[in-house]
Amino acid sequence: MSAPEPVVSLAVPPLFAALAGARSVLVAGAGGGFDVYAGLPLALALRAQGKVVHLANLSFTALELLDLDAWLAPGVALVTARTEGLEDYFPERALARWLRGQREPDIVYAFPRTGVRPLREAYATLAGQLDLDAVVLVDGGTDILMRGDEAGLGTPAEDMTSLAAVAGLDVPVKLVTCVGFGIDAYHGVRHTQVLENIAALDRDGAYLGALSIPSASREAALYRDAVAHAQAATPLRPSIVNGQIAAASRGESGDVRFTSRTGGSTLFVNPLMTIYFSFTVDGLASRVLYLDTLEDTVRMEQVVARIGRFRAGVTPRPARPFPH
């Protein structure tokens, strides 16, 4: 299936134009952890437009400890505010409990941390059960944009597993959006190369532009509240990524402290962190140099090993510094 080409206009953000005809949309965290939170402002905005919006996340939680009745299907856990167990770290349930407090639907689907083949099967199951018109993968940070020959890739395994899984999915609209520009410098990403990659994607027709989350908007206020709620629910492992994005959405900048987990490092919170950079899944997937090698993976360890083998045979392209 393919969706009609949206009309390009300055007055209508291309991200929303691409989703205009969708009725049922899945907003899914691509990189695990708290990535689904990075999609919350978009999900709330789409719900305000009257769309049915579902939330999902590639999970770092020990989902195998959940009761059997928590599983919608193999590879898809259905997490609600009332899901039991796993008290110390469970971002999906923390989000479900926050959603329930806001009188929003409190279901967050969780995918185990697997290879491409089972994750694609899980997405396909969910797409059929929810009658999806669109899937939006969300990355907290921008390392999902790394094609493989950059100076540093960040933490690509989960992002690339999600990208490859959704690229092979039969759904009319498949998009990727990133929020948190600059965050991945901590993991070795050179952001001049992020910008080079965005320019190349634009030349390919795969870039859907940049869209800022207004700090005074309802979506930004609710997002900040959700991040604070998650930090209280997971005090030993709060989200560093979403903490920075939330701080940026309050107008803060520089080395903002919100958790002891960032001790010993210097943060660079900045206004660019509140911008969604959006792309087509197919366009982005086509530029990742090693994505086809991940197709038959079953376990995440295989993904990690194959990315490592690819990197061992690559001479990284040099990164230019930002002009001063």
- Residue numbers of the chain with a pLDDT score lower than 50: none
What pLDDT sits at residue 259?
66
What pLDDT sits at residue 197?
98
In the chain, what is the greatest distance between 2 CA atoms, to the nearest angstrom? 56
pLDDT digits (tens, 9 = 90+) for 174-226: 999 999 999 998 889 999 999 999 999 999 999 999 999 999 999 999 999 99
Predicted model pTM: 0.95
What pLDDT sits at residue 88?
83
CATH among 3.40.50, 3.30.160, 2.60.120, 2.40.128 for 23-224+273-312: 3.40.50
What pLDDT sits at residue 263?
57
- In terms of DSSP bridges, do strands 275-280 and 207-212 run parallel, antiparallel, or are they unpaired? antiparallel
What pLDDT sits at residue 237?
87
What pLDDT sits at residue 3?
57
* Structural domain boundaries in the chain: 23-224+273-312
What pLDDT sits at residue 261?
62
